[in-house]
Structure 1
């Protein structure tokens, strides 16, 4: 029988941000209040022993005489009842400040009885349409030309698409893949990129773009005007001058001031034609769409030219609101020549196989282990590429010592902990089959007051409850921000999984979840198994945004 997954129907979920907002609203109603947050969520195990939220003494001194909070205000917080705010057990003033502890058994009961509701983003964005244009894929004509910086941009776009879709956004990925080697490589990486053939509308769109440029006042229209250098470019169509165009625009903040002359090639027009086709598909289902160019820092200058060219030939709202999400450089230690993405993948796979063989010996053989090694390799690469903010440089160490099944910050460690949970539930079900344990009872019959171990509340309070808000933050893109560049929290899920894995591993190593098959121990065992089910579901949901399938065993 499956672990309890929660009751069906509508339910109000606890949101830690709602709790902080409500607590702040009460304190900031004081006469001396100023519009700033004074409450903080605790996260460390030692402090969580006695409190869940704290308003530090220093902040209280700015609000009340001698920092003393009125008794009626403290009582109001104790009896706070607002949708989304967990029930409060106590609120008292201490030397540290004003501290709040939640009614933990009630919070355990509500959350672990409705697990699916904590696996969805805390806010939906239905009706929005986004085009993610992965710029490096336009220029890569073969697998050999796919560099590490290109792979980073692809992984960022792939993950961003997943978190946006989880939030209800309609996402279209551009361009479609046509090279079979690149298709197969991305398939190995568990990247499901669109591979539709070019439709008949693309060639027609290219002809229309050429006609627009022929009529454009910023373009040089004939070979004599283009000059000898342009004649030598076999795919050159015309040359466009941006200076005058940019001077007439009022909303081009952040573009490189050195943008001037752009030699338009056939490939640039195909790039725009594919974007226009994606826009047409978006606008057939919605009133508007937004375009985000995911680009490596080495290609940012060139992509700004393509952006401006599109603005010149298409004056729609989608071109006026283009944004660029720029990925920082990828440096390789002790390498004098560029490292290709395919070589990087094969090296990491070889290293992961070697590390697995050192741990498990002759068991590492056969198709099942080949699949496991490929998944571990894909996970390791994603955590190397995505655990750092996309705009920052990352440094890759290609040595054997850089990859391991033991390191607590790598993808293999996340997969190992997923496998531990799968093994735990497999052991429980086997014991049920043997008659050692009873079948899992309905969630409504579980006694969560038995969850008294420090690590149990930490897992619920730091990971299960906040996960929906982490998903929402990962999908938050400030399209209205000034300038051409935007940032996204593409590192948030990886960082979340690293911390979750470390705290789960610490708890799992310390606590025996499947105890002796004695009736008086079953109540606590079932409560702990339900907690572990929630942790497992969070793992799986987070890994799904990275397109990493969970492993049942390692």
Structure 2
């Protein structure tokens, strides 16, 4: 799994090397020595610990499984715990504040999030409590993010491993690109990074568009891999590249003297944004903005991008950018699906507008005013898109 996370460019905490469990084993023997009453134990088993008392005495019953009682302490379990402890100490000091600690800063101010499948939740709760029991400086704040099962629809043959899944998607991305550009670019060094980013985007949007706690069905068919598949991460990245091409075209034309330099934003006349497009009844929404509806008409065209995508974005950030670690109880939730669906909708709205409106018109002075306000609008669209992609750990692409 660590290999798969590395392929997805996820900065996941890990021990620098195989962590030693010697110290943990000594502490465990002190705790369990009276638990087996001198009876012979099977190889690899040190004894049992009562975890239920730990839960009750520290008031942590909210969220823990009611069946948690005795924990069978094994060498394997201590090895996993040693790796977890080692990963915590080796987490970069400049990482996100509150998500890791170091021996110098102490652990009562850091937060550890256990990302675990629903099948392994019970075992991970044991590990959580065992950590507190055996390590004096174990993190006081530990939360659990439970992920639902992943099912594969129409799998071609035996179930594939996570790295095989990445390789499978990467091959589909290369194939889609070959069909689009009329040639195999998979071995072209100039496209290596692009194909890597597109593969990661495809997988992340596929997996994160479903709420983490829900069951996820992976459809391995490649119908959504192309830039025309509007539900895919490839489609979002394609429109990101279209924006980059647009602004690069303006820059080149400006350097050639066809367009003037971009004027101060304060001098722009935004009343020139009046592109109209038919909006089906009920399709307009105002996001989180509290507008007096009796004084507003549904926005059209260019204003649709503003009201449906740009203005609601700060509110979306406040809901999704940070895990709610202050809520009571053991579990936390992540709202990745909100970001993915927002970026897909933004890309669809932008694509519709871009296909209909010619932004960079003929270099005639009387048209520059409208061109600049449209570019300014799309600057905001680009900023929103780049920020949303950054939240998913995806860099923007300048071409596809």
TM-score normalised according to structure 2 size: 0.81
Contact 1:326 1:485 in 2 (8 A): yes
1:425 and 2:247 correspond = yes
Q: After superposition, give the CA deviation of every residue in 1:414-438 in whole Å (9 maximum; x if it has no partner).
A: 0110111111112222222333222
Task: Decide which of 194, 197, 202 is 2:16's aligned counterpart.
Answer: 197
**Structure 1 269/526 Cα, relative in aligned 2: closer, same or farther at 3 Å?**
closer
CA distance in 2, matches of 1:354, 1:334: 20
Task: Decide which of 183, 193, 197 is 1:362's aligned counterpart.
Answer: 183
1:306 and 2:127 correspond = yes
Aligned to 1:281, what secondary structure does the other structure show? Answer: coil
1:259 and 2:68 correspond = yes
**Structure 1 272/533 Cα, relative in aligned 2: closer, same or farther at 3 Å?**
closer
Aligned to 2:182, what secondary structure does the other structure show? Answer: helix
Q: CA deviation at 1:483?
A: 2.8
CA distance in 2, matches of 1:290, 1:189: 23
Contact 2:62 2:330 in 1 (8 A): yes
CA distance in 2, matches of 1:428, 1:262: 65
Structure 2 counterpart of 1:96: none
The structure whose RCO (Cα within 8 Å, separation 6+) is larger is 1
**Structure 1 391/442 Cα, relative in aligned 2: closer, same or farther at 3 Å?**
same
Q: CA deviation at 1:500?
A: 0.5
1:344 and 2:155 correspond = no
**Structure 1 247/445 Cα, relative in aligned 2: closer, same or farther at 3 Å?**
closer
Task: Decide which of 229, 233, 241 is 1:411's aligned counterpart.
Answer: 233
Q: CA deviation at 1:244?
A: 4.3
CA distance in 1, matches of 2:222, 2:343: 24
Contact 1:477 1:488 in 2 (8 A): yes
Q: CA deviation at 1:481?
A: 2.9
Structure 2 counterpart of 1:440: 262
Task: Decide which of 470, 481, 496 is 2:327's aligned counterpart.
Answer: 481
1:214 and 2:29 correspond = yes
Task: Decide which of 505, 510, 535 is 2:351's aligned counterpart.
Answer: 505
Structure 2 counterpart of 1:398: 220
Unaligned segments of structure 2, at least 5 residues: 92-99, 276-299
Contact 2:240 2:398 in 1 (8 A): yes
CA distance in 2, matches of 1:436, 1:275: 56
**Structure 1 324/503 Cα, relative in aligned 2: closer, same or farther at 3 Å?**
same
Q: CA deviation at 1:523?
A: 0.4
1:119-138, aligned counterparts within 5 Å?
none
Q: CA deviation at 1:221?
A: 5.2
Contact 1:356 1:405 in 2 (8 A): no
Q: CA deviation at 1:362?
A: 2.1
Structure 2 counterpart of 1:273: 85
**Structure 1 274/423 Cα, relative in aligned 2: closer, same or farther at 3 Å?**
same
Q: CA deviation at 1:515?
A: 1.3
Output the aligned Cα RMSD. 2.8
Contact 1:408 1:498 in 2 (8 A): yes
Aligned to 1:325, what secondary structure does the other structure show? Answer: strand
CA distance in 1, matches of 2:53, 2:255: 77
Unaligned segments of structure 1, at least 5 residues: 1-145, 147-176
Task: Decide which of 483, 505, 522 is 2:368's aligned counterpart.
Answer: 522
Structure 1 counterpart of 2:96: none
Q: After superposition, give the CA deviation of every residue in 1:191-240 in whole Å (9 maximum; x if it has no partner).
A: 344567359xx65xx44433433333xx2458775645xx233xx44332
CA distance in 2, matches of 1:287, 1:304: 19
**Structure 1 244/338 Cα, relative in aligned 2: closer, same or farther at 3 Å?**
farther
**Structure 1 220/243 Cα, relative in aligned 2: closer, same or farther at 3 Å?**
farther
**Structure 1 382/224 Cα, relative in aligned 2: closer, same or farther at 3 Å?**
same
Q: After superposition, give the CA deviation of every residue in 1:368-405 in whole Å (9 maximum; x if it has no partner).
A: 22322221111000001111111111100122335332
1:538 and 2:349 correspond = no
Contact 2:107 2:137 in 1 (8 A): no
CA distance in 1, matches of 2:27, 2:14: 29
Structure 2 counterpart of 1:325: 145
Aligned to 1:362, what secondary structure does the other structure show? Answer: coil
CA distance in 2, matches of 1:364, 1:275: 38
Contact 1:189 1:378 in 2 (8 A): yes
Of 507-516 and 252-261, deviating more is 252-261
**Structure 1 337/267 Cα, relative in aligned 2: closer, same or farther at 3 Å?**
farther
Q: CA deviation at 1:313?
A: 2.8
Structure 2 counterpart of 1:449: 271
CA distance in 2, matches of 1:294, 1:505: 35
Q: After superposition, give the CA deviation of every residue in 1:122-160 in whole Å (9 maximum; x if it has no partner).
A: xxxxxxxxxxxxxxxxxxxxxxxx3xxxxxxxxxxxxxx
